[in-house]
Amino acid sequence: MDVYEKLKVLADSAKFDVSCTSSGVARRNNGRVGSAVDAGVCHTWTADGRCVSLLKVLFSNDCCYDCQYCVNRRTADCVRATFEPDELAGLTIEFYRRNYIEGLFLSSAVIRSPDGTAEKILECLRTLRKKYGFAGYIHAKILPQVSPELIYAIGLEADRLSINAEFPTMKGFRLLTPQKDPQNVFEPMRQITNQLIEHKALKGPGLMFKGQDLNNADNYLSASSPQIRTIRRNIDAKIAEKSAADEILSGDAVKTKKPETSRDLIRTEEPVQTGYTAVGSRRNRKEIFAPAGQSTQMIIGAAGETDRQVLAATEKIYRTFKMKRVYFSAYVPVVSSPLLPDVFSAPPLGREHRLYQADWLLRFYGFDADEIVGEDHPFLDMDLDPKISWALRNMQIFPIEVNTATMDELLRIPGVGNLSALRIVRQRKYKSVTYEDLKKIGVVLKRAKHFLTCSGKFYGDRRMDPEVIRGDVLQMKDGEQMSMFSSGRTGAPELQDGAETGPRIRIANPSSRINIRKEAATK
């Protein structure tokens, strides 16, 4: 099999891995070739509009597992291919030198055993770093059940590590990945978080832990720490019906508690040094082990989970493991199985988009998952972004005065982002912010005008009625003629019906449609 065919097969198999970012670490060229940019660099955009940053391939697609949703499952009839470590390293370098890519994203099917596969991956990464002197970005996928020593060794080469959480609910996990044990997913996550703390390199997601030093014993996750126990309890109980997210939600609010075990316990778990130094041997102390942290991904729309379950699991992962990102992947029906959505159903792209917006609210805007999706509204509104949906449910706190509000309050205003909030705070030190200024600052007034005042003056709809604002915002967003007058009078049901006749509406999950209706009806 020549390199063309291998690349085709192994890139095709990797395309459903979502994460392709090259962000999280800034590094000058400390090898022969390569560097890393903190914000990451996108090199091109494919026909589906996704950015290509890294050369994203599987090392092999010759899998011994039989996960139902996966194209590479053992029982699938497809071409199998495996790279040679040096072959892939050489290809990466040639692509990199032409500036096609920002680095390598290497995942793999489990060839015979997880450790055997991880060793191959490690060999490839070492070739890249040592033989070719590559100082660019590497994202390595950790397979479940890989031994801690190998995870550590891979972390010494890679910038970012990730383990797929696969499903936000335990039910989905058990149903669709019969040979994997959820514990094997959480255990490496815990190890990576701990190791980052040891290297004083744990930064946390977005602005969630801004200004806090996470690198202390309090954040250490021992095997018996409360967070892990919650997850483990789910696993031990083997509750097939109840989801992990539900279990997590039923417990106390997520708090970081001091682990009960001493550090000695963890010390014993610490893997052996491999005695190998990377080309980046001048990496400073904080950059030794996976300096760009870890991430994970979940498949959306394959196992009938609610947005509430997805976001609760996401928040839990952020608070517990403090990992940089959780990615969502709209399930693309590639496989025909009685357990999965129909092969002809469209991937829930709209839902994925809204979930990412909600994810941003968690990481950068100080929202809790419970605020975004509650028990009475377990799905996100497909027509409006989650922030304005939240605002419409909480009209009592609006309008907010931009000249006196705190940064946190400003961030709650729909249409005000992190940059515009910062600019408001900066300007008002010298000069009060007027309504005209807001536009220049970058505030989206179409949405924001209903939720703020400038020096006491309000510019939105005086009725402050959520339904009126909803109609107003939707009308402008989609160019659909909806008289503000009629929408204000007739209220939700008619607005909903009117909206559904329009061409734009796309509700990915039939159950979410029902829930939106229910929600509207209860209002």
Stretch that binds another protein, among 62-70, 164-172, 249-257, 436-444 (CB under 8 A): 436-444
Q: How far apart are CA 13 and CA 83, in angstroms?
A: 13
Among 426, 506, 518, 523, binds another protein (CB under 8 A): 426
| Closest approach of another protein to the CB of residue 97, in Å | 6
89 binds another protein, rule: CB under 8 A? no
Stretch that binds another protein, among 68-76, 262-270, 402-410, 420-428 (CB under 8 A): 420-428
| Closest approach of another protein to the CB of residue 270, in Å | 34
Two tokens at 15?
A: 């395309």
C-alpha angle 342-343-346 in degrees, rounded to nearest 5: 85
| Closest approach of another protein to the CB of residue 403, in Å | 12
506 binds another protein, rule: CB under 8 A? no
Residues 6 or more apart in contact with residue 356 via CB below 8 angstroms: 328
Region for residue 429 given its phi and psi (left: phi exceeds 0; alpha: psi -120 to 50; beta: otherwise): alpha
38 binds another protein, rule: CB under 8 A? no
48 binds another protein, rule: CB under 8 A? yes
Q: How far apart are CA 468 and CA 463, in angstroms?
A: 8
Stretch that binds another protein, among 106-114, 207-215, 263-271, 422-430 (CB under 8 A): 422-430
Q: How far apart are CA 156 and CA 107, in angstroms?
A: 16
459 binds another protein, rule: CB under 8 A? no
Q: How far apart are CA 25 and CA 161, in angstroms?
A: 13
Q: Are 158 and 291 in contact (CB under 8 A)?
A: no
42 binds another protein, rule: CB under 8 A? yes
342 binds another protein, rule: CB under 8 A? no
46 binds another protein, rule: CB under 8 A? yes
30: nearest Cα among 288, 329, 415, 351:
288
Indicate the residue type of 208.
M
347 binds another protein, rule: CB under 8 A? yes
99 binds another protein, rule: CB under 8 A? yes
Q: How far apart are CA 447 and CA 395, in angstroms?
A: 13
Q: How far apart are CA 150 and CA 132, in angstroms?
A: 22
- Other Cβ atoms within 10 Å of 226 Cβ, number: 18
407 binds another protein, rule: CB under 8 A? no
Binders of another protein: how many residues, by CB under 8 A?
59
131 binds another protein, rule: CB under 8 A? no
Q: How far apart are CA 58 and CA 109, in angstroms?
A: 7
| Closest approach of another protein to the CB of residue 346, in Å | 7
Please, which of residues 285-324 interact with another protein by CB under 8 A?
A: none
Q: Return the number of the residue (257 or 426) whose C-beta is nearest another protein.
A: 426
| Closest approach of another protein to the CB of residue 50, in Å | 8
Residue 444 CA: distances (Å) to CA of 315, 356, 438, 467: 27, 19, 8, 19
Q: How far apart are CA 396 and CA 391, in angstroms?
A: 9
41 binds another protein, rule: CB under 8 A? yes
| Closest approach of another protein to the CB of residue 490, in Å | 33
Q: How far apart are CA 61 and CA 11, in angstroms?
A: 10
332 binds another protein, rule: CB under 8 A? yes
Q: Return the number of the residue (6 or 308) whose C-beta is nearest another protein.
A: 6
| Closest approach of another protein to the CB of residue 283, in Å | 16
97 binds another protein, rule: CB under 8 A? yes
336 binds another protein, rule: CB under 8 A? no
Among 430, 456, 510, 522, binds another protein (CB under 8 A): 430
Q: Are 162 and 141 in contact (CB under 8 A)?
A: yes
Q: How far apart are CA 516 and CA 523, in angstroms?
A: 11
Is residue 361 helix, strand or coil? helix
184 membership: H or E segment, kind and range: helix 183-198
Residue 300 CA: distances (Å) to CA of 108, 140, 148, 434: 21, 22, 29, 42
Among 66, 401, 437, 480, binds another protein (CB under 8 A): 437
Binding site for another protein (CB under 8 A): 3-4, 7-8, 11-12, 14-16, 28-29, 32-35, 37, 39, 41-53, 55-56, 91, 94-95, 97-100, 102, 136, 330, 332-333, 346-347, 349, 423, 426-427, 429-431, 433-434, 436-437, 440-441
